[in-house]
């Protein structure tokens, strides 16, 4: 049984693409810097060939990272039975930042690309947002109903804090060790969450007090 020429070319293209994505994934898992030339070398293709399959490094990294992160529910499974949003946020924060450190070469490349080309930010996985939302689930009933804007503000505050950018600012600019940097980010994230939780409880107490007054 012979293979049609067109089918053979299609299969070869699939193999080449798979080799490029696989090489990128292996390089990402080392935590080292990720460049298109290094990926091409590892995949045993030319850099020009790699660019024919992927227009830029972020698009390649994005495909290579697909499925690399667990879902928010899977990531937060160890605290699934806990209702304390402060504890859940602390766990989510450390989980994210440990994952960033393990893949920091790729994460730095994605950040660098989206700084110079903001329109490409959509290619970034956005793992933090799913983790934050899942971690804050118990707080949604406390604060999300009494003060939706305060809840939305907390989500925005945590999006800034629970981030690779915050981690790299502390390691690169402040000279902290990775462990100390993670501890600092976790402390900031939990402080923000504690303040929002206190605000939500205060608002609920105020509402109950007002509802009990005689007109």
Instruction: Going residue by residue through the chain, which has 215 residues, state the pLDDT in tens, using 9 for 90 and above.
Output: 455 656 777 889 999 999 999 999 999 999 999 999 999 999 999 999 999 999 999 999 999 998 889 999 999 999 999 999 999 999 999 999 999 999 999 999 989 888 887 776 666 768 999 999 999 999 887 787 788 999 999 999 999 999 999 999 999 999 999 999 999 999 999 999 999 988 877 655 545 555 555 44
d(CA 120, CA 152): 25
**C-alpha closest to that of 159 among 204, 192, 122:** 192
Coil, strand or helix at 117: coil
Q: What is the pLDDT of residue 104?
A: 95
What is the distance between the alpha carbons of residues 10 and 190, in angstroms, rounded to a whole number?
52
Residues of each domain in the chain carrying CATH 1.10.10: 5-65
Q: List all residues 6 or more positions away from 10 whose beta carbon is below 8 Å from its beta carbon.
A: none
- 36-50 burial by CB neighbour count: b if 16+ within 10 A, else e? bebbbeebebeeeeb
Please choose, from the candidates 48, 196, 178, the residue with its C-alpha nearest in 3D space to the C-alpha of residue 102.
178
DSSP string across 153-170: HHHHHHHHHSSHHHHHII
On whether the 5-65 domain is CATH 1.10.10, my answer is yes
pLDDT at 36: 95
What is the reported pLDDT for 215?
46
Q: Buried b / exposed e across 142-180, counting CB within 10 Å, b at 16+?
A: bbbebbeeebeebbebbeebbbbebbbebbeeeebeeee
pLDDT of residue 7: 75
Residues 6 or more apart from 62 whose CB is under 8 A from it? 110, 123, 124, 125
Compute CA distances 62 → 66, 93, 162, 188, 209, whole Å.
Answer: 6, 21, 20, 29, 51
What's residue 22's pLDDT? 96
């Amino acid at each position: 049984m012979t293979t049609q020429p067109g089918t053979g070319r299609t299969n070869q293209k699939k193999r080449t693409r798979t080799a490029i994505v696989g090489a990128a994934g292996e390089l990402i898992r080392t935590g080292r810097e990720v460049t298109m030339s290094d990926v091409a070398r590892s995949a045993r293709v030319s850099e020009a060939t790699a660019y024919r399959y992927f227009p830029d490094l972020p698009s390649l990294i994005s495909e290579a990272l697909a499925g690399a992160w667990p879902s928010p529910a899977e990531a937060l499974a160890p605290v699934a039975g806990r209702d304390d949003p402060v504890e859940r946020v602390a766990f989510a924060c450390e989980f994210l930042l440990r994952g960033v450190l393990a893949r920091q070469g790729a994460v730095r490349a994605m950040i660098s690309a989206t700084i110079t080309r903001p329109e490409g930010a959509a290619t970034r996985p956005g793992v933090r947002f799913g983790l934050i939302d899942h971690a804050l689930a118990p707080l949604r009933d406390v604060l999300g109903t009494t003060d939706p804007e305060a809840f939305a503000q907390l989500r925005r505050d945590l999006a800034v804090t629970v981030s690779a950018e915050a981690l790299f600012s502390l390691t690169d600019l402040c000279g902290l060790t990775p462990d100390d940097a993670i501890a600092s980010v976790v402390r900031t994230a939990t402080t923000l969450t504690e303040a929002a939780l206190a605000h939500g409880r205060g608002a609920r107490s105020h509402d109950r007090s007002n509802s009990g007054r005689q007109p």
